[in-house]
Chains A and B, each alone.
Chain A
Amino acid sequence: MSEHLSSLALDEAATGAPFEAADRDHLAGCAQCQTAVQERQALNARLLATPQAQAMRARLLGRPVQQQPAAVARATLVRRVVLTALPLAAAIGLFFTAGFQARPDDGDRIKGSVSVGVLLDGRLTGRAKVGAKVTVAVGAAGHGLVSVFAFDPASSSLEPLFPSDGSLTAAPKGASAPVGAPLEVTPGTTRVVAVFADSPAAPEAIRAAALAHVRGQPLPPTFWAASASLEVEPK
């Protein structure tokens, strides 16, 4: 495939929707399209955090609207301006959904885009068969701590993977570095969520941040999060 991905295929890749094998192959080897996917993922995450999107969510799903604290809203505005001009970090995450939160007291200090992906045979993947051995890779974007969870949208259950007690552990350096031991794919584990922080936090707060991310809600300003969808296929 010589041409770059269309808008349709980029949207499919950015949202984790099913898409063509040929497009998937192209994306795996094309840095330009990977960047385009990341840009869309960042845009999508920012859009879902807007008051308008939250109001629509409440209207459609009957979920109460969560107000953005004023300080976070200001930081979001700063972030929007800065992110428009800055290229996104080179972290490769074919199916991650990045959630940015600039710290209100940081002004325009932006560390970059956190990411998480699932590695199968050393390559990022969005699907795996039951029983396959996979590894989680994260891009901490300069943040020092990480906690990884498995989220099952069907049951809305969130289980800690690394560390197993849901606390934070040292994040590996690099744009996309493996973390934790290999995992076996089981039915129902469809989304990996990584929560990043710069200072220790209570497991309850970390879990709340992970849940906020999967619900598309704003995160507390001391957390950052990303997630990767994994389509689980039968053996």
Chain B
Amino acid sequence: MAEAPGLDKPALEALFTRYTPVIYRRARVLMGNDADAWDAVQEVFERMWHHHEGFRGEARPMTWVYRITTNVCFNLLRGKKVRQAALRPVADEPTIDAASAEARELLSKWAAHLDEREQTVATLLYIDGLTQEEVADVLGLSRKTIGREVDALRKKAEALGGLP
């Protein structure tokens, strides 16, 4: 692991303890298996170490974690050419919210029809249950832009069989 300039060991330790479970849970859902999820955790932390100034500059650092974890997972999935499995239900994952599990199942049916951006937005909206404002924060977009994308996504989803 390369050194993280400007971060001492206690700071790295604190970041690891705080964010690892969040990153892992998100990656586990998107990647569908433990090994790939841990690969994603490592890559997210490598990005965090090397972009920690930007990360720490976030008013809500968790939005950075959500965004980068989602991007890393989709990149890994693209590299493995297993995108179709990106949103499949994870049977053995500790379920926090039954509604989210149902949403994942529905999204898995749509995975073949949504592009990467739409899957990202759908993940944040329907799996994570974020508000449009939070999705805009996570993706670094204006609320107006994300509103348009959500409208387009809803129309596409309705054509494919409804919304969660």
- By a beta-carbon cutoff of 8 Å, the part of chain A in contact with chain B is 6-9, 11-12, 15-20, 36, 39-40, 43-44, 47-48, 52-53, 56-57, 59-62, 84, 97, 153-156, 214-216
- When the two chains form their complex, are residues B60 and A20 in contact, meaning their CB atoms are under 8 A apart? yes
- Chain A residues with CB under 8 Å of B20's CB are 47-48, 53, 56-57
Q: Which residues of B, 61-101, contact A by the 8 Å Cβ criterion? A: 61-63, 66, 94, 96-97, 100
- When the two chains form their complex, are residues B134 and A60 in contact, meaning their CB atoms are under 8 A apart? no
- Chain A residues with CB under 8 Å of B9's CB are 61
Say if the beta carbon of B21 comes within 8 Å of chain A.
Answer: yes
Q: Once the chains are docked, how many angstroms separate the CA of A184 from the CA of B84?
A: 55
Pick the residue among A9, A15, A39, A52 that contacts B34 (CB under 8 A).
Answer: A52
Q: Once the chains are docked, how many angstroms separate the CA of A9 from the CA of B127?
A: 14
- When the two chains form their complex, are residues B16 and A47 in contact, meaning their CB atoms are under 8 A apart? no
- Contact of A15 with B22 at beta-carbon distance under 8 Å, contacts A8-B134, A57-B16 already known: yes
Please count how many residues in chain B sit with their CB below 8 Å of the partner chain's CB atoms. Answer: 38
Q: Once the chains are docked, how many angstroms separate the CA of A45 from the CA of B72?
A: 24
Taking the nearest CB of chain A, how far is it from the CB of B96, in angstroms?
A: 6
- When the two chains form their complex, are residues A43 and B62 in contact, meaning their CB atoms are under 8 A apart? no
Taking the nearest CB of chain B, how far is it from the CB of A143, in angstroms?
A: 23
Pick the residue among B12, B13, B18 that contacts A17 (CB under 8 A).
Answer: B18
- When the two chains form their complex, are residues A6 and B131 in contact, meaning their CB atoms are under 8 A apart? yes
- Contact of A6 with B1 at beta-carbon distance under 8 Å, contacts A47-B20, A52-B38, A154-B10 already known: no
- Contact of A48 with B17 at beta-carbon distance under 8 Å, contacts A6-B134, A59-B1 already known: yes
Say if the beta carbon of B159 comes within 8 Å of chain A.
Answer: no
- Sample 7 A-B pairs with CB under 8 A, ordered by A number: A8-B134, A9-B134, A43-B94, A43-B96, A57-B20, A61-B12, A153-B13
**Cβ-closest chain B residue relative to A3:** B131
Taking the nearest CB of chain B, how far is it from the CB of A155, in angstroms?
A: 7
- Contact of A56 with B42 at beta-carbon distance under 8 Å, contacts A17-B61, A19-B60, A19-B62 already known: yes
- Contact of A16 with B18 at beta-carbon distance under 8 Å, contacts A39-B96, A56-B41 already known: yes
- When the two chains form their complex, are residues B21 and A18 in contact, meaning their CB atoms are under 8 A apart? no
Pick the residue among A7, A44, A60 that contacts B45 (CB under 8 A).
Answer: A60
- Chain B residues with CB under 8 Å of A62's CB are 1
- Chain A residues with CB under 8 Å of B97's CB are 7
Taking the nearest CB of chain B, how far is it from the CB of A98, in angstroms?
A: 12
Say if the beta carbon of B129 comes within 8 Å of chain A.
Answer: yes
Q: Once the chains are docked, how many angstroms separate the CA of A210 from the CA of B158?
A: 52
- When the two chains form their complex, are residues A15 and B131 in contact, meaning their CB atoms are under 8 A apart? no
- When the two chains form their complex, are residues A155 and B62 in contact, meaning their CB atoms are under 8 A apart? no
- Chain A residues with CB under 8 Å of B41's CB are 56
Q: Once the chains are docked, how many angstroms separate the CA of A39 from the CA of B130?
A: 19
- Chain A residues with CB under 8 Å of B134's CB are 6, 8-9
Q: Which residues of B, 28-44, contact A by the 8 Å Cβ criterion? A: 34, 38, 41-42
A-B pairs with lowest CB-CB distance, top 3: A44-B21, A7-B128, A47-B21
Q: Once the chains are docked, how many angstroms separate the CA of A156 from the CA of B14?
A: 10
Q: Once the chains are docked, how many angstroms separate the CA of A44 from the CA of B94?
A: 11
- Contact of A153 with B10 at beta-carbon distance under 8 Å, contacts A8-B128, A17-B62, A48-B21 already known: yes
Q: Which of A15, A19, A57 is packed against the most chain B CB atoms within 10 Å? A: A15
Q: Which of A11, A39, A215 is packed against the most chain B CB atoms within 10 Å? A: A11
Pick the residue among A6, A53, A84, A215 that contacts B13 (CB under 8 A).
Answer: A215
Say if the beta carbon of B19 comes within 8 Å of chain A.
Answer: yes
- Chain A residues with CB under 8 Å of B138's CB are 8
**Cβ-closest chain A residue relative to B41:** A56
- Chain A residues with CB under 8 Å of B25's CB are 43, 47
